[in-house]
Amino acid sequence: MIEVSAAPTLVVGLGCQKGCPVTTLRALLDQVLAAHQWQARQVLALASIDLKRNEPGLLQLAEQLELPLTCFSSGQLAPFALRLSHRSQIAFERTGCYGVAESAALALAEQLSPGPATLLVPRQKYAQATLALVAAR
């Protein structure tokens, strides 16, 4: 009998500059997944801030991966500030929260499964985007 490894189910939090192309977002996701030997099929959902709800690159990424994109208000993301690996004053001035990628991933993971979520990959920056991965239980 083949033993199936307990690979994590992942929630991806994303932040990006206006006009960030889907190719940049996909390259960042693929790079992070490959670095940890995870597969795109382990990703359950994508999350960001509501200011990015209509961002073409994020919508295209969700479509490519056939995953939902859940967006949260800065008020919903604010409670996660003390759990972030990096708190950005610039992000706060622009969005009202100290870190979009980590906050959004934590918020969605905890919405999907009650209890504290685990940040597996802290904020990764690449070109015009940031990404964080959280384990969803």
Domain assignment present for residue 74? The answer is yes
Q: How far apart are the first and last CA of the chain?
A: 25
**Which residues form the domain of 44?**
12-136
Q: What is the largest CA-CA distance in the chain?
A: 55
Number of structural domains (the chain) is 1
Average pLDDT rounded to a whole number, residues 35-58: 96
Element (H, E) at 118: strand 118-126
What is the model's pTM?
0.91
Q: What is the mean pLDDT of the chain?
A: 92
Domain assignment present for residue 105? The answer is yes
**CATH code, domain carrying 112:** 3.30.420.180
Domain assignment present for residue 5? The answer is no
How far is 72 from 97, CA to CA, in rounded Å?
A: 11
Q: What is the pLDDT of residues 70-86, one digit of tens each?
A: 999 999 999 999 999 98
Domain assignment present for residue 53? The answer is yes
